[in-house]
Structure 1
Amino acid sequence: MSVPDGSENASPGGPTTQPRAAGPRESLSIGELAKRARVSPRTIRFYEEVGILPTPERTEGGTRRYPENYVFYLEGTKIFKDLGFSLDEIAEVAQFALTRESPSERTRELLHDKIYQLERRVRVLKKLQSLVSEATKGNSSDSELDASLFGWISTSDVSDE
């Protein structure tokens, strides 16, 4: 199964629970939802297949109709992907979020591991921000800038900073 946006494959079969609407429910076509969420209709269909999005309601003619709050789930999926979650992991978190059931041990472990990874990334980014900030103060020559920025990256175990 190919992924419309270059992501890795995930297991099929998604949640069928409809997300809770926040206020009146406006029903969107797949094209309208795609436009609002800035994804392709193909991506939406794929996310349904792999379990990230719940199965939408259909009209008598078989046309998919989506609650307006599906935009939130699509935007959340983009954020999770940017943070390094796989589509399988996003589907697992989506199932947990949609059902509001207690997380499974696997989901807990996944989320704890992701917290650790995100904290590590924050530490690395803060260190890099500090080095860039120092470099932009104008107190360093270009060679000192290169040494401080790239020296830190080449001599540090960035994953453990």
Structure 2
Amino acid sequence: MSASVSIGVAAERSGVSPRMVRHYEGLGLLPPVTRTESGYRQYTEADVHTLRFIRRARDLGFSMDEIAELVGLWHDRGRASASVKRIAQQHLGELEQRIAALQSMHRTLSHLVHCCQGDHRPDCPILDDLAR
């Protein structure tokens, strides 16, 4: 990759849309980028690498606040890995709570679907449950 690339190329190489590149830049997840004389943003290899980092963190479901903290820790070579682990453990706990809630919803809905006759009669345990 050359010294700098346009937003479209940076987006393509990182797997992030140009709109999201601008958004992440606006949030301060990227350092201020240089601009050409005509005002076009120019991104470095390091910027593209950071965008890939952000995309991967988003794929794992980290919040933007968590990602901001992780990016800061990633760039801080003096960081303690315990700080990173704390963020990941907290996120893992939140994921486990969401999974448990989804499993509970699944069990309830499966039971209601099983109990509903699905015939021409108007009585329906699904609607009865929702109306409770």
**How far is the alpha carbon of 1:34 from its aligned partner?**
1.3
Per-residue CA deviations over 1:107-136 (Å, capped at 9, x if unaligned) read 663234246668x6xxx9xxxxxxxxxxxx
Q: CA RMSD in A?
A: 3.3
What amino acid does structure 2 have at the position aligned with 1:49?
Answer: G
Size of the aligned set, in residue pairs, is 102
Q: Structure 1 residue 51 and structure 2 residue 28: aligned?
A: yes
Is residue 25–residue 32 contact of structure 2 (8 Å, CA) maintained in 1? yes
Q: Which consecutive residues of structure 1, in runs of 5 or more, have no partner in the other structure? A: 1-23, 125-149, 155-161
Aligned residue for 2:112? Answer: none
Higher RCO (CA-CA < 8 Å; seq separation 6+): 1
**How far is the alpha carbon of 1:25 from its aligned partner?**
5.5
What amino acid does structure 2 have at the position aligned with 1:76?
Answer: F
Q: Which has the higher helix share?
A: 2
Query: C-alpha distance in 2, partners of 1:39/1:83?
Result: 15
What amino acid does structure 2 have at the position aligned with 1:44?
Answer: V
Q: Which has the larger radius of gyration?
A: 2
- What is the aligned counterpart of 1:77 among 54, 71, 81? 54
Which aligned pairs between 1:93-132 and structure 2 lie closer than 5 A?
93-102=70-79, 109-114=86-91
Aligned residue for 2:43? Answer: 66
Give the direction of change, closer, same or farther, for the CA distance of 1:73–1:42 in structure 2 (3 Å limit).
same
Is residue 4–residue 44 contact of structure 2 (8 Å, CA) maintained in 1? yes
Aligned residue for 2:123? Answer: none
Per-residue CA deviations over 1:67-101 (Å, capped at 9, x if unaligned) read 12322222222221121200111111111212334
**1:62 counterpart SS class:** coil
Q: Structure 1 residue 28 and structure 2 residue 35: aligned?
A: no
